[in-house]
């Protein structure tokens, strides 16, 4: 599946000012005088303020610089230097960092912006560290010394600082009281305010309890039939609870083999495939129609329930997705894809772990008890009464249900549908325990029937188009035309791309084997897992799902996420563009967009011009690579569909979103309905290039292979990555490195499978592919020698294969450096020197790059990320990249054999 790739890192980076702070003292008297100031007084006041700021800042800067420079190598001050072995063991030794090489540029910039930038750089540095032995300590040691990890955080870093500052700007934009309700901008703000405040209102969520979810599960039971029964004729396949019962222990730790499985999953997800041009393919669909008989009424019930679930963001049995037809002639044409089902556990291997199955069984039981006790009022209400109501409600569904519900009537045996039994007098908990075991077993069989997930991220393996008619015959329990008509699609698809054809036959047999009550319980579970985050903390559903997350993620039992952080994520999901509009107005201007565009264009052009000189790429492949480089389209700042800076465009985009005051669940549901409706309306149409998958305030960037686009939200165009006032070497060293990283993804293991139009094509020759793979494996072997230390001091090595794609992207730093040097050479003006910094522009380029990787992280979190994160640890994203950089070695005069300049046979060069 050709998913857009979120690169850079999951963390987020610092804005230097906080709009919410105000000093109500001397400066307040200047800003808010008792009488109007004359023009002369205004000028004098402004000048006084500026001079005071500059004087105070520069005095502090000078003192800091003087102290730092006294301890610089060659100044006579002793320094403790951190050195690192080839496997990242850090030890303290005494020594001196090398003096700056090259000639610093002339002229000193004394603007407020330059002084502030110098100040933050000085605060970030540890000049007692040797940059040729541990550059990260040199570039970020001061930052780390001044930052303490809070008790409620597992990680803090530069990315996160920017993210927190971006969120602070959004919170400050939420008004305490709305103004003219007729104003479009105010109406947009009302939706932002209501979405955030209803999420934060835990008292209200506690008051409404599970009621909003029950209103949805009742709909499922009206369509698919009840689950609170005592069936006894299920296939033996769905009665294995004794296999795992009693295996769970509170001190259980997820074993390494499952974490390694997650690791391979993430590797496949981010790299697509480990090799280019070598692809196996799944088995074809059965040549004959399915021989499994399907009851027409049961088929209608399943179809209706699945369509209803999907319209609300949940799914079951199979999953449909709308995506570009990357294997066709026009990748921008949105086509229909059919995927295997996902489950409540991370990967299919988790279902083979007895202890986890025991826990999951209990979690599912508690969810079903919470739903059943409210749906049927437990034993206080006879099930027959519910069935009578279900029959009475049949056919009363509104849009989007064009056919009446069927199959809810008791059959001749007195059972609801096929395979159910009359209500039992046994306690609800016992009934739900037995039902949960069957639901979990059924879900396990669905997972077993699917392909290994990493195969599905190989875009060529997963591209298997068939006629819609043929797919319908292979899935006899699902009426595909009726299912699709639910969503009022504009054109009926001729073909459906099936990611794993053998799954269709397997799921058909499983659905035929399972009883209706188990199937209904399964549907309820899928909905509950999707909507649990919208419930209050004291509901059984929320508590059960949180317990599962704690166990699988290694979180401390009973911990709760900081509510504000959770609600800001929900705001981003529900009204992200409205929040983004407020952010853009505060933090991003058109001049920054134009400047960033110039930086990106220069890097693309530099890479384009360099391609013919890449020694391992033959002429045919180089020509195709140049064509692809020129076809890549940068997108900067914010989406144009909707137009983020146009209030009316935003109002139109969210017109159908029903944001309700004091009703977070209702808002959450409305957002799901709107998103699904909007997605289905794209089927059969070309993609709107104005749409983004990230909101403007996001501190990240991504490359989308089928679209040949690299995207940079306004959120990452902030210090220390970027400021319009930064000198060019600082812009290219930080933001330019991000841009070059994304460009590099267009030519990594996944990107190289897509041609200049975003089509799945083999456009490299086999000789070039083999040469590329050889260099990619050099990086994989190199990074696999690096390690971090766990809480006990044990070595945990980086998986160079897992991080290979991101390491290839980071290697694009050389192109950012070359683009900067080329840009400077074409301009006549000299770059002014930053005050108090005795470094060359080349050194500051790499300091800018190193600063963005500053972080403090708990050992347990670091270990978890090493096992599952496709990005190398921050320290190695910096050190690993620079150890292979001849430009860095020259800039800091690092001698061959130093840690930062290893012997040539230990270095890996990708683009040279």
Q: At 134, list the tokens.
A: 């541990």
pLDDT at 334: 95
Angle at 634 between CA 628 and CA 638, to 5 degrees: 155
Q: Is residue 227 scored above 70 in pLDDT? A: yes
pLDDT score, position 394? 42
Determine contact, residues 140/851, Cβ cutoff 8 Å: yes
Last residue of one domain, picked from the residues 99, 133, 151: 151
- Please report the pLDDT score of residue 896 as a whole number: 96
pLDDT of 468 higher than 90: yes
* Cβ-based neighbours of 825, under 8 Å, separated by 6 or more: none
Phi-psi region of 417 (alpha: psi -120 to 50; beta: other; left: phi over 0): left
Q: Is 47's pLDDT higher than 90?
A: no
Whether residue 835 is contained in a domain is answered as: yes
Q: Is residue 12 scored above 60 in pLDDT?
A: no
| Backbone dihedral region for residue 92 (phi beyond 0: left; psi -120 to 50: alpha; all else: beta) | beta
* Sign of CA pseudo-dihedral 681, 683, 686, 687: positive
Q: H-type helices in 450-562, by residue range?
A: 453-456, 468-474, 480-485, 502-513, 516-531, 540-553
The verdict on 611 and 526 lying in the same domain is no
pLDDT value of position 659:
95
Where does the pLDDT of residue 350 fall: very low under 50, low under 70, confident under 90, or very high at 90 and above? confident
Could you tell me if residue 122 is inside a domain? yes
- Mean pLDDT on 627-635: 97
List all residues 6 or more positions away from 617 whose beta carbon is below 8 Å from its beta carbon: 611, 625, 768, 771, 772
Q: How confident is the model at residue 241 (pLDDT cuts 50, 70, 90)?
A: low
Residue 320 backbone dihedrals phi, psi, to 5 degrees = -105, 140
Q: From residue 274, how far is each of 458, 782, 805 by CA, in Å?
A: 9, 17, 9
Share of residues in the chain with pLDDT > 90 (%):
61
Count of domains in the chain?
3
The winner for highest mean pLDDT among 62-66, 294-298, 830-834, 857-861 is 294-298
Tokens describing residue 26: 């001397």
Q: Calculate mean pLDDT across residues 497-517.
A: 94
Mean pLDDT of all residues in 572-577: 97
pLDDT at 75: 33
Average pLDDT of the chain, as a whole number:
81
Q: Answer whether residue 670 is part of any domain.
A: no
Do 595 and 520 belong together in one domain?
no
Residue-level pLDDT at 200: 98
**548 lies in the same domain as 606:** no
pLDDT at 368 exceeding the cut of 80: yes
Compute the distance between CA of residue 851 and CA of residue 292 in angstroms, rounded to an integer: 62
Q: How confident is the model at residue 251 (pLDDT cuts 50, 70, 90)?
A: low
Do 516 and 617 fall into the same domain?
no
Q: In degrees, to the nearest 5, what angle opens at C-alpha 169 toward C-alphas 168 and 175?
A: 100
What is the percentage of the chain residues whose pLDDT exceeds 70? 76
* Tokens 């500051």 -> residue: 844
Q: By the 8 A CB rule, do 438 and 420 touch?
A: no
Same domain, yes or no, for 743 and 884?
A: yes
Q: Last residue of some domain: 151, 171, 202?
A: 151
Asked if residue 824 is part of any domain, the answer here is yes
Does residue 632 sit in the same domain as residue 771?
A: yes
- Determine the length of the chain: 912
pLDDT bracket for residue 229 (50, 70, 90): low
DSSP string, 58-102: HHHHHHHHHHHHHTSTTTT---EEEEE-TT--EEEEE--PPPP-S
Quick check: 705 and 760 in contact, CB under 8 A? Answer: no
User: Based on the domain organization, do 606 and 526 belong to the same domain?
Assistant: no
Joined tokens for residue 537: 């903390």
- Same structural domain, 533 and 626: no
Q: In the predicted model, is pLDDT for residue 191 greater than 70?
A: yes
**323 has which bridge partners?**
335
Pick from 75, 68, 89: which is nearest to 134 by CA?
89
The DSSP 8-state label assigned to residue 706 in this structure reads G
Tell me: pLDDT of 858 over 80: yes
- The stretch 502-512 carries a mean pLDDT of 95
What average pLDDT does range 568-592 have in this prediction? 96
Query: Is residue 114 assigned to a domain?
Result: yes
Of 151, 169, 201, which closes a domain? 151
pLDDT value for 475: 95
Instruction: Give residue 454's pLDDT.
Output: 64
pLDDT at residue 106 is higher than 80: no
Query: CA–CA distance from 663 to each of 45, 311, 314, 367, 495 (Å)?
Result: 49, 20, 20, 22, 41
The C-alpha atoms of residue 538 and residue 760 are separated, in whole angstroms, by: 49
Q: Are both 523 and 599 inside the same structural domain?
A: no
Spatial distance between the Cα atoms of 623 and 736, rounded to a whole number of angstroms: 25
Spell out the residues 6+ positions from residue 453 whose beta carbon is closer than 8 angstroms to its own.
265, 268, 269, 347, 348
CATH of the domain at 326: 1.10.1380
Residue 56 three-state SS: helix
Q: Above 90 in pLDDT, residue 851?
A: yes
Residue 294's pLDDT band (boundaries 50, 70, 90)? confident
Per-residue pLDDT, 302: 97
Q: Is the pLDDT of residue 762 over 90?
A: no
In a domain, 51, yes or no: yes
Q: Are both 631 and 537 inside the same structural domain?
A: no
Per-residue pLDDT at 76: 33
pLDDT above 90 (res 411): no
Spatial separation of the C-alpha atoms in residues 90 and 78, rounded to whole Å? 19
The closest of 475, 505, 701 to 7, measured between CA atoms, is 701
Do 138 and 257 share a domain, yes or no?
no
**Across residues 745-749, what is the average pLDDT?**
87
pLDDT tops 80 at residue 145: yes
Contact between residue 331 and residue 686 where contact means Cβ atoms under 8 Å apart = no
**7/764: higher pLDDT:** 764
Residue 61 pLDDT greater than 70, yes or no: no
With cut-offs at 50, 70 and 90, classify the pLDDT of residue 408.
very low
Instruction: Report the 10 Å Cβ neighbour count for 155.
Output: 17
Q: Which domain holds residue 591?
A: 586-636+703-906
566 forms beta bridges with none
In angstroms, the CA 616 to CA 627 distance is 18
Collapsing DSSP states into helix, strand and coil, what is residue 109? coil
User: Two tokens at 405?
Assistant: 């519900």
The residue among 520, 498, 503, 493 whose CA lies nearest residue 368 is 520
Contact 576, 570 (CB under 8 A): no
Q: Assign residue 876 the CATH number of its domain.
A: 3.40.390.10
pLDDT value at 52 more than 90: no
Position 327 pLDDT exceeds 70: yes
Confidence (pLDDT) at 264? 53
Pick the closest to residue 332 from 340, 341, 323 (CA basis): 323
790-815: average pLDDT: 91
Residue 452's pLDDT is what?
A: 80
The pLDDT, as a whole number, for residue 425 is 66
Q: Picking from 121-130, 243-252, 506-515, 578-587, which range would have the lowest pLDDT averaged per residue?
A: 243-252
Quote the pTM value: 0.80
Per the model's pLDDT, the better-predicted residue between 284 and 282 turns out to be 284
Strand order in the sheet with 465-467: 318-324, 334-340, 495-498, 465-467
Residues 892, 776, single domain; the answer is yes
- Helices marked H in 201-255: 202-208, 211-224
Look at residue 163 and tell me if it is in a domain.
no
Span 726-738, average pLDDT: 96
- The pLDDT of residue 252 is 66
**Banded pLDDT at 756 (limits 50, 70, 90):** very high
Could you tell me the two tokens for 57? 């800042």
Quick one: average pLDDT of 771-776?
A: 94
State which H helix or E strand residue 266 sits in. helix 256-271
Domain membership flag for residue 804: yes
């Amino acid at each position: 599946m050709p998913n857009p790739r979120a690169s850079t890192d999951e963390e987020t980076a610092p804005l230097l000012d906080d709009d919410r702070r105000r000093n109500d003292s001397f400066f307040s008297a200047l800003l808010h005088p008792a009488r109007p100031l004359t023009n002369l007084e205004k000028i004098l006041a402004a000048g006084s303020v500026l001079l005071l700021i500059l004087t105070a800042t520069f005095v502090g800067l000078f003192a800091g610089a003087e102290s730092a420079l006294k301890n610089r190598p060659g100044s006579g001050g002793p320094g403790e230097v951190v050195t690192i072995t080839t496997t990242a063991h850090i030890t303290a030794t005494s020594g001196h960092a090398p003096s700056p090489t090259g000639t610093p540029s002339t002229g000193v910039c004394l603007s407020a912006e330059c002084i502030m930038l110098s100040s933050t750089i000085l605060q970030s540095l540890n000049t007692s560290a040797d940059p040729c032995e541990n550059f990260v300590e040199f570039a970020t040691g001061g930052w780390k010394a001044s930052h303490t990890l809070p008790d409620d955080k597992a990680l803090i870093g530069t990315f996160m600082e920017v993210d927190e500052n971006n969120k602070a700007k959004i919170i400050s934009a939420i008004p305490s009281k709305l103004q003219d309700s007729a104003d479009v901008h105010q109406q947009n703000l009302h939706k932002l305010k209501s979405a955030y405040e209803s999420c934060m209102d835990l008292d209200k969520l506690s008051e409404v309890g599970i009621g909003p979810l029950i209103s949805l599960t009742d709909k499922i039971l009206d369509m698919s039939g009840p689950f609170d029964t005592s069936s006894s004729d299920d296939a033996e396949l769905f009665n294995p609870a004794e296999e795992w019962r009693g295996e769970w222990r509170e001190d259980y730790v997820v074993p390494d083999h499952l974490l390694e499985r997650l690791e391979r999953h993430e590797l496949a997800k981010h790299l697509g495939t480990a090799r280019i041009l070598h692809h196996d393919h799944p088995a074809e669909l059965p040549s004959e129609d399915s021989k499994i008989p399907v009851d027409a009424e049961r088929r209608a019930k399943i179809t209706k329930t699945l369509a209803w679930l999907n319209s609300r963001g949940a799914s079951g049995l199979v999953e449909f997705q709308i995506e570009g037809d990357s294997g066709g002639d026009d990748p921008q044409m949105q086509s229909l894809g059919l995927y295997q089902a996902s489950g409540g556990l991370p990967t299919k291997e988790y279902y083979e772990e007895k202890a986890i199955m025991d826990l999951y069984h209990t979690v599912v039981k508690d969810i079903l008890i919470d739903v059943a006790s409210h749906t049927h009022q437990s034993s206080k209400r006879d099930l027959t009464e519910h069935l009578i109501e279900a029959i009475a409600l049949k056919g009363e569904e509104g849009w989007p249900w064009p056919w009446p519900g069927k199959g809810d009537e008791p059959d001749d045996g007195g059972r609801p549908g096929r395979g159910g039994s009359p209500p039992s007098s046994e306690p609800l908990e016992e009934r739900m325990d037995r039902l949960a075991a069957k639901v979990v077993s059924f879900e396990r069989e669905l997972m077993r029937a699917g392909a290994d997930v990493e195969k599905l991220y190989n875009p060529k393996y997963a591209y298997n188009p068939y006629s819609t008619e043929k797919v319908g015959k292979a899935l006899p329990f699902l009426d595909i035309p009726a299912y699709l008509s639910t969503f009022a699609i504009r054109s009926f698809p001729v073909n459906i791309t099936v990611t794993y054809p053998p799954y269709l036959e397997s799921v058909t047999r499983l659905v035929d084997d399972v009883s209706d009550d188990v199937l209904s319980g399964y549907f309820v579970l899928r909905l509950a897992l999707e909507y649990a985050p919208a419930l209050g903390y004291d509901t059984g559903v929320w508590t059960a799902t949180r317990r599962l997350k704690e166990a699988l993620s290694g979180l401390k039992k009973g911990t709760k996420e900081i509510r504000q952080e959770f609600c800001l994520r929900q705001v981003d999901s529900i009204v992200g563009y409205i929040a983004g509009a407020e952010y853009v107005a505060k933090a991003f201007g058109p001049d920054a967009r134009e400047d960033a565009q110039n930086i990106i264009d220069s890097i693309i052009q530099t890479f384009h011009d360099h391609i013919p000189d890449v020694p391992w790429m033959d002429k045919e492949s180089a020509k195709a690579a140049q064509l692809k480089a020129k076809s890549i389209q940068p997108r900067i700042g914010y989406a144009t569909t909707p137009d983020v800076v146009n209030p009316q465009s935003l109002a139109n985009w969210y017109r159908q979103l029903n944001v309700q005051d004091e009703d977070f669940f209702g808002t959450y549901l409305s957002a799901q309905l709107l998103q699904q409706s909007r997605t289905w309306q794209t089927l059969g149409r070309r993609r709107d290039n104005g749409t983004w998958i990230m909101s403007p305030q996001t501190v990240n960037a991504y490359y989308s292979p089928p679209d040949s686009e690299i995207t940079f939200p306004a959120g990452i165009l902030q210090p220390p990555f970027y400021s319009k006032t930064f000198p060019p070497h600082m812009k290219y060293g930080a933001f330019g490195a991000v841009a070059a990283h994304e460009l590099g993804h267009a030519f990594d293991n996944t990107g190289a499978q897509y041609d200049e139009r975003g089509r799945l094509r083999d456009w490299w020759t086999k000789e070039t592919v083999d040469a590329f793979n050889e260099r990619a494996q050099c990086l994989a072997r190199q990074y696999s020698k690096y390690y971090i230390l766990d809480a006990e001091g044990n070595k945990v090595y980086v998986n160079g294969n897992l991080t290979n794609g991101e390491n290839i992207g980071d290697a694009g730093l050389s192109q950012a450096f070359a683009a900067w040097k080329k840009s400077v050479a074409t301009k006549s003006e000299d770059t002014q020197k930053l005050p108090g910094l005795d470094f060359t522009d080349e050194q500051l380029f790499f300091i800018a790059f190193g600063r963005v990787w500053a972080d403090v992280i708990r050992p347990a979190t670091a270990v978890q990320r090493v096992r599952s994160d496709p990005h190398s640890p921050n320290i190695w994203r910096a050190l690993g990249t620079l150890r292979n950089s001849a430009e860095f070695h020259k800039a800091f005069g690092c001698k061959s054999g130093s840690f930062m300049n290893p012997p040539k046979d230990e270095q890996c060069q990708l683009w040279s």
